[in-house]
Amino acid sequence: MKIEANGTPAFQGDVMFRRVDRLPDGVVKQTVPSEGAVIAHSETGHHHVATGTDFDWFVLPDDTMRAYLVARAPVKITHQRPTDTHEAFDLDGGAVVWEIGRQREYVPEGWRQVAD
C-alpha cells in the first residue's frame, strides 16, 4: 500500500505518519543504519522500521513521542513481528517531511504512550 502526502494521517498500529510543511526547530539528524532506521521502538521488540535509499531521519532531543523523516524517494515502513503484524506500506517521496507520532492514552496518573 502507498501512503500519499495529501495531509491525511496514516497509522501502523500505534504509530501515526502525517505530512507536515517543515521540520521543527531543534531537530537532530540521526544516522540511518544500512538495515533501516527504527523509527518507533516497541516495548516487546516488534519495532517499526523505515527502509529505503534516500531519506533522512530526525528526532527532537526531549520528545520521545515524535520523530521526523524527510523522504526524497519512497520509504517502506515495516512492523517487525512474525505474526499478527501490521501491514507494511510505502510513504511518498519527493522531499516530503513526515511527522511520526506515537498514540497516547489518558489514565488516572496522566498521559502515557499506548503499548503496541
40 or 110, higher pLDDT: 40
Q: What is the largest CA-CA distance in the chain?
A: 44
pTM for this one? Answer: 0.77
Q: Annotate 20-37 with DSSP letters as a single string.
A: ESSPPTT-EEE---TT-E
Q: Quote the domain boundaries for residue 8.
A: 2-113
All residues at 6 or more sequence positions from 110 whose CB lies less than 8 Å from its CB, including other chains: none
Q: How far apart are CA 72 and CA 43, in angstroms?
A: 30
Asked whether the predicted pLDDT for residue 62 surpasses 80, the reply is: yes
pLDDT tens-place string over residues 71-111: 999 999 888 766 556 777 888 888 889 999 876 554 567 55
Q: With cut-offs at 50, 70 and 90, classify the pLDDT of residue 32.
A: confident
pLDDT of residue 68: 94
Which of 20, 19, 10, 13 is closest to 40 using CA atoms? Answer: 13
Domain count of the fold of the chain: 1
Q: How far apart are CA 105 and CA 19, in angstroms?
A: 22
